[in-house]
Structure 1
Amino acid sequence: MESYILPNFPREFSSIHLCLFQNVTNSASLRARLVEAATMEGEQGDRARDEMDYGFVEASMALQAASTGNLKTRTVHSEVLLALHPSNNIADAIKRFGISATTKTLLLVRIGSPIGSDDSSAESSQESVDAYQQTLVDKMAELVEGDMVPLHELPETSDWKAIKKLYKLHEISLPGTSDADDKRILEANMLNTLSTKVVA
């Protein structure tokens, strides 16, 4: 798991934890639990939503929306999915970036305060931060049946054909000097698409 502190955001959104899993075997049950948690009511529903309170991949646009109170979706984690999609269609964003019954590679994102509490008065000693991060790693590993791998392995699992189609990158002229250079150009164009969506 990799963790990042973003001091320019409110405390309750200032910590991002990313954990990459490959060879995931329980995608269908995770998706079912997500759907069930979203519809449950009362304390049982609150507990179920807390257990499944994760999102997928990039979160910077979602954090901005949450910190200003301008979420377009119900949670900051579903906002992550919307931020990844080139349009503002949340249903399509969930379809494209959300977990499906056939997901084999899964990136969990947890956004919250550095020690797991939304209490802005709570002190964040390094010990409490480390303890929270270890608890979070344990919960993620317990939740997902798969191999936890370093985050730097994420590019190796990318489906560039699908990415090019979704972001309409197939029309971009690439120099063809190397695969790595071509991917950097495609990534830059994809990020431009997402950046302009936010200001449009």
Structure 2
Amino acid sequence: MALEIVSLEHLPNSHKVYVALFRDVQNAAFLHQQLLARNPQFEYAFIDASVVVSRLQLLSAVFKATSTAVNGALRTPNVHSEIVCAMSSSNNIADAYRRYGISPSTKDLIVVKVTFPGEDGAEPLTHDQIWEHLKTNVEGEALSITDDQISTTTDVPKVRKYYKLNGLKWLDDIKDEKVKQKEMESLVIGAMALRGV
């Protein structure tokens, strides 16, 4: 099963985080349309995997957005749209959706679902219910969300452009690809953390 439950420290036990990676998605336009229509059945963070460099980057955005939701300080309609915005290094919400969220041309997709009890006491969706919905509605190959899998989907030139990492000669001079990837991860997470400062 490719839907993973992730434990993030310092979040209430009532909040559960689920993540999945889908390669070669064939119906991104349909999924994008569901978000635009605000279909509650598709309340997920759909992130274009080409702009993700690591699991740590992804989980940093998830933690930041979920903490914001827990504290009642959302700037977007829900925790899932807040996750997409937390991926960004700028405060422009529309720009964040366009750059980091799903588009009709998305090929590789990371899906995040955060569940918690409803204000009316309704029980949150279970792992199996979420997985069944994703398997039914996302036409792509489900894979484990590891750094190795993520690296196969990353568009490095796009990441460098979006996070303003072009022209860093010292980064280009690093020969060891693992070291270069770790340095890029640090720069990207730093840019996300400094957003709006």
Is TM (by shorter chain) over 0.5? Answer: yes
TM-score normalised by length of structure 1 = 0.81
Q: Is there any run of 5+ residues in structure 2 with no aligned partner, and where?
A: 48-57
Larger Rg: 1
TM-score normalised by length of structure 2 = 0.82
User: Equivalent residue for 2:162?
Assistant: 166
Write the distance in 2 (CA, Å) between the matches of 1:7 and 1:149. Answer: 24
Give the Å deviation of 1:7. 5.5
Structure 1 residues 26 and 122, CA gap change in structure 2 (3 angstroms): closer
User: Equivalent residue for 1:154?
Assistant: 150
Write the distance in 1 (CA, Å) between the matches of 2:184 and 2:18. Answer: 26
User: Equivalent residue for 1:42?
Assistant: none
Tell me if 1:135 matches 2:129.
yes
Matches within 5 A, 1:69-148: 69-113=72-116, 117-118=117-118, 132-148=126-142
Q: Is there any run of 5+ residues in structure 1 with no aligned partner, and where?
A: 39-47, 124-128
Aligned residue for 1:197, secondary structure, equals: coil
Structure 1 residues 179 and 32, CA gap change in structure 2 (3 angstroms): same
Give the Å deviation of 1:120. 10
8 Å Cα contact 2:23-2:140 kept in structure 1: yes
Pairs aligned (count): 178
Give the Å deviation of 1:63. 1.0
Write the distance in 2 (CA, Å) between the matches of 1:145 and 1:122. Answer: 29
User: Equivalent residue for 1:43?
Assistant: none
Residue identity over aligned pairs, in percent, reads 28
8 Å Cα contact 1:22-1:146 kept in structure 2: yes
Larger RCO, structures 1/2 (Cα 8 Å, 6+ apart):
2
Q: Cα RMSD over matched residues?
A: 2.3
Write the distance in 2 (CA, Å) between the matches of 1:154 and 1:97. Answer: 14
User: Equivalent residue for 2:67?
Assistant: 64
